[in-house]
Chains A and B, each alone.
Chain A
């Protein structure tokens, strides 16, 4: 059924809001950004055709508030809504409220969202179509003692997880029976606090696995595609930091098999639009992890290796149109890597860095892509996720893509806010990352502490001292003008404003 719409509401912020606005603009759609009070200083705010303030900075009063988003979309005359990722993007109630009010939800049906959002129900579906699952036990309302007994049956190490959960909360690894009871109780408390239900389940814990996921897509006329794999093994506390594709860990046979399984799963649950099936892979054996019923942060990896635009196809799907892809051309070309740029200080254990973003420089070039949410003068606040941008590169081989990413990051400049760029560089240079053998324990094992700042070498301090003393460097709040005789210098200096 074809359904046209002209104006689209965006219930999100930052770089993904920018990404969605761009796709909408290219399709000739009008956009309205549903934003919080603090996000008036952001790129998406300036780019949108129309803006509607849905509440104060704290997310529960704005970006997570279902009725305010609905009201904002309706009041601004939107006929459709894109939820982006995070916030309300996997909230079945929100999707349903959109439909109730006659808004087209750019995403799957509320039924698909709630089916795959219930991790235990999802596993039952997955088992039915023959996708391998990790050995596990579902234990709703069981006492911690009973859960411990089940854990012993499965064998240690074992993971206890929240039934309604995701994102690492309500998730604990039990290494042995010692101390397991406390961890189970703690997981139940976290689950209750985060998801409103203390129901837990147990799963075998894999201690040298890779995180492999398949992008799936079901278009507006029901054609299901698998758009190949991404590897997101580099994670810290279940937060992805670097993603890439295709994975070096998959043989062509395994890739074909897993891709088909992912496609079958999407079709069997009547899915619509973009989704991701996540797997763990250990010793060439794969296990279903979960399905994400939305666009992923790392979707540009797939876009770059296949030359597709997933967000535009999401819109076309919502309009009831078929995807424009010819399956013959859906073949990975080369290798793509994405690095998430977080506003945090890697030399202080990743504490968030907030304040005003000053000068930025994103060094453009062939095969380099920047997804940027904030520009000079914008406030990076502590209210939201600290991801401010993503850098994506593509080249013919993985080794070349790594070199391209390192060069690109070395030329990227962000002033006024500390970022994780030095941390990303350290990861990209680590032998385990370079040879592709890293597992999900890679960061915990190799980067357990804050990066250590080397003392400045003498040349660098000389350059800094010299730049400090440049006439053009003096700003109104500095009176320091060291005389040039302070610098024992073989250098000659030029400067110009840019």
Chain B
């Protein structure tokens, strides 16, 4: 938990906050609220990624399996790669029909949150 102080019209106000799993917990003016960035870049980029057909890492981890190579065709919902994070496996699927345009990782790659792994184009 951390303290923050804001100054509004010359008045200092104090609050507390902590980011827990992508949610902001704020204690401010006597109430505890949870808040997630709605209009922030994260959401915007997630929407446009869907549109562009990029596959992003949903969390930091390691790529363990690649099922499609560059140039291969892929259907929406089809499994493209598998990653491992926190000792669990996650299947990553394509969001659209198309061709694998770019494969940016290989088996064993360590990836960051929201890193672009695959580009799917037409």
- Chain A interface residues toward B at CB < 8 A: 358-361, 409-411, 413-416, 419, 421-422, 425, 456, 459-461, 463-468, 470, 472-482, 486, 490-498
Contact = CB atoms under 8 A, between A and B. Distances in A.
Main SS class of interface, A: mixed
Contact of B40 (A475, A480, A491): A480
> Which of A409, A413, A476, A481 has most B Cβ within 10 Å?
A413
Contacts of A465: 37, 40
B7 A415 contact: no
A421 B31 CA distance: 9
B20 A358 contact: yes
Contacts of B16: 359, 361, 413, 415
B25 to A, nearest CB: 4
A479 B114 contact: yes
B1 A359 contact: yes
Contacts of B26: 463-464, 467
B32 A421 contact: yes
Contacts of A415: 1, 16, 18, 20, 25, 27, 32
A498 B20 contact: no
B121 interface: no
B24 A467 contact: yes
Given A416-B25, A467-B17, A494 B5 contact: yes
Contacts of A414: 32
A492 B7 contact: yes
A46 to B, nearest CB: 20
Interface string B22-34: 1011111111110
A478 B17 contact: no
B32 A467 contact: no
Contact of B15 (A421, A463, A473, A481): A463
A468 B16 CA distance: 12
Contacts of B37: 465, 468, 480, 482
A468 B40 contact: yes
Given A358-B18, A413-B32, A468-B40, A473 B3 contact: no
B90 to A, nearest CB: 14
Contacts, number: 120
B23 to A, nearest CB: 10
B25 A477 contact: no
B17 A460 contact: no
Categorize the interface residue count of chain B.
35 or more
Nearest to B13: A463
Contacts of B112: 479
A461 B15 CA distance: 13
A177 to B, nearest CB: 47
A468 B29 CA distance: 17
A425 B4 CA distance: 24
Contacts of B24: 464, 467-468, 473
28 contacts: A360-B1, A409-B30, A410-B31, A415-B1, A415-B18, A415-B20, A419-B32, A422-B31, A456-B33, A456-B35, A460-B29, A463-B6, A464-B28, A464-B33, A465-B37, A467-B4, A467-B17, A468-B24, A468-B40, A473-B17, A475-B19, A479-B42, A479-B112, A480-B40, A486-B40, A495-B5, A496-B3, A498-B1
Given A358-B1, A415-B27, A476-B60, 5 more contacts: A422-B31, A425-B30, A470-B17, A473-B2, A493-B4
A477 B22 contact: yes
Contacts of B41: 480-482
A419 B35 CA distance: 16
A486 to B, nearest CB: 8
Nearest to B1: A359
B67 interface: no
B51 interface: no
A346 B23 CA distance: 19
B21 interface: yes
The residue among A359, A422, A459, A492 with the most chain B CB atoms within 10 A of its own CB is A359
A490 B27 CA distance: 21
B27 A413 contact: yes
B8 interface: yes
B79 interface: no
A466 B33 CA distance: 14
B88 interface: no
